[in-house]
Amino acid sequence: MFLGDLQTKDVVNINDGKNLGRIVDVEIDSEGKIVNIVIEKRKFFKRFFNSGSQINIMYQEINKIGDDVILISI
């Protein structure tokens, strides 16, 4: 699986069912393993210079990567 494949999937929190957005970036450690994923919050109206528009999720919080969605538990 490629990063581009992950970026096309919606990220959903299984605790409350909310669609958090889509992956825009990943953080990789020196061994080449994914540490964090960066999600851009889902918004109807995007504002410029909004510092709270991204969420960092630990890779261990991913429960399942499906065909259409990524399920996380936060």
Tell me the per-residue pLDDT of 19-71, one tens digit each, with 9 for 90 and over.
999 999 999 999 989 899 999 876 644 555 555 678 899 999 999 999 999 99
Which residues, 6+ apart, have CB-to-CB distance to 51 below 8 Å? none
Nearest-angstrom CA–CA distance, 10 and 66: 10
Residue 61 belongs to domain with CATH number:
2.30.30.240
The pLDDT score that the predictor gives to residue 52 is 63
37, containing H or E segment: strand 34-41
Q: Which domain holds residue 26?
A: 3-72
* Residue 14 pLDDT level (bands cut at 50, 70, 90): very high
Structural domains counted in the chain: 1
The pLDDT score that the predictor gives to residue 45 is 47
Looking at per-residue pLDDT, the higher value among 25 and 2 belongs to 25
The pLDDT score that the predictor gives to residue 53 is 78
